[in-house]
Amino acid sequence: MKKRTIEEEGEQMALPVIFQLITMMLLMAVGVILNRKKFLSESNAKGLSIILTRVAVPANMVILMQRPYSHEILVGFLKTCGGTFLMCSLGALMFYLVGRLMKMEFPELGLFSGGGVYSNVIFMGQPLIMAMYGEEGLIFCVAVMFTCNVFLFTVCSVLFAVGSGKRKTLGQMMKDAFVNLICISAVIGFFCFVKSITLPAPIYDALQFSANTTVCLSMIYIGTLLAAANVREIFKDKKVYVFSFFTLLVMPVITKFIGSLFLDGIALSVLVVLMGTPAAAALPSFAEIYNNDEKRASEYVFVSTIFSVVTLPLVAEFLCIGK
């Protein structure tokens, strides 16, 4: 009886993920078609990315924190932030060691190590968490997004810059990590949550309308990236398979076991799912900033995104076992 219950729970978690992934794939297909028909060029796609990272996502982070204060949620939020930074750090170390075993050198090794933990938390993770756990899970999604953003502009920026000749000072890294719209919006949302501040209806509605565009625009943006990829050439390189395997399967597994030492329930499940999302769509742009291999970064994004259609439902089912 117990075994059947666990299997049923796994199916209950996996099915919403499968349905959500189908929806996201349809939106990606729209992006592919728009790109192939020349309606949405690469420069236009970058404009979509700017709208997402500077309008839709920040607005969404404030909206997600509009809820009554709860000490239990606050503790879970802070633990999730700490757990996210820990898992990103351990993940970067793991990718570094794997890259060394594959005879990689910097700057390629830096891209492999940093890109492995720079997951698509914002564009793919959020809709998946909404499908699996509803609004209750999204507040922990904000914690992961905030911490991943800080990790990106500190640790990952160092890894990407090694061997590329574009290192930043500590002051520049701290400014990039904390003085940006994603972090600022997370702080505003967190303050409103702790103080139980409810935004006026016009402001809330404006933010909500902006936030509602996140999933659609992000999937169309990813679709334009996939349309520009040389599929035959990409799948000949074993490195993209190794990258995808560790990103999509190994990371969520070790997150489950290590994270369970200090997290439980929905907070742990959210962290595991988000650590199992593919490489972030913004990875190529970030690699370009540091004179790293933008083409290689695009390959990591493409292959891991394709394989995630299979692995994310497996991760969702894995979450429910022993929960």
CATH number, residue 315: 1.20.1530
Q: What is the pTM of this model?
A: 0.84
Structure tokens at 224: 């334009």
Scanning the chain, the segments in alpha helix (DSSP H) are 2-36, 42-51, 57-64, 71-101, 108-117, 126-133, 135-151, 157-161, 170-178, 181-194, 201-211, 214-227, 231-234, 238-245, 251-259, 265-275, 283-289, 294-320
**Full domain range(s) for residue 10:** 2-320
Question: For residue 25, what pLDDT is reported?
Answer: 84
pLDDT below 70 — which residues of the chain?
Answer: 1-14, 164-167, 319-323
Q: Largest alpha-carbon pair distance within the chain?
A: 60
Per-residue pLDDT, 5: 47
State the pLDDT at residue 286: 79
HEC readout, 183-222:
HHHHHHHHHHHHCCCCCCHHHHHHHHHHHCCHHHHHHHHH
Q: How many domains does the chain have?
A: 1
The predicted-structure confidence for 148-197, as pLDDT tens digits, reads as follows 988 988 888 888 888 766 667 778 778 877 888 888 998 899 899 999 89
Q: How much is the pLDDT for 6?
A: 43
CA gap 143, 252 in Å, rounded:
17
Which long-range contacts (C-beta less than 8 Å, at least 24 apart) are formed by 209-216?
A: 210/55, 210/56, 210/59, 210/60, 211/56, 211/59, 211/60, 211/63, 213/51, 213/56, 214/52, 214/56, 214/57, 214/60, 214/122, 214/123, 214/126, 214/127, 215/24, 215/27, 215/126, 215/127, 216/27
For 202, what's the count of Cα atoms within 13 Å in the CB-facing half-sphere?
0
Give me the pLDDT at residue 92, please: 96
pLDDT digit string, tens, across residues 6-19: 445 455 566 777 78
Please give the pLDDT value at position 319: 63
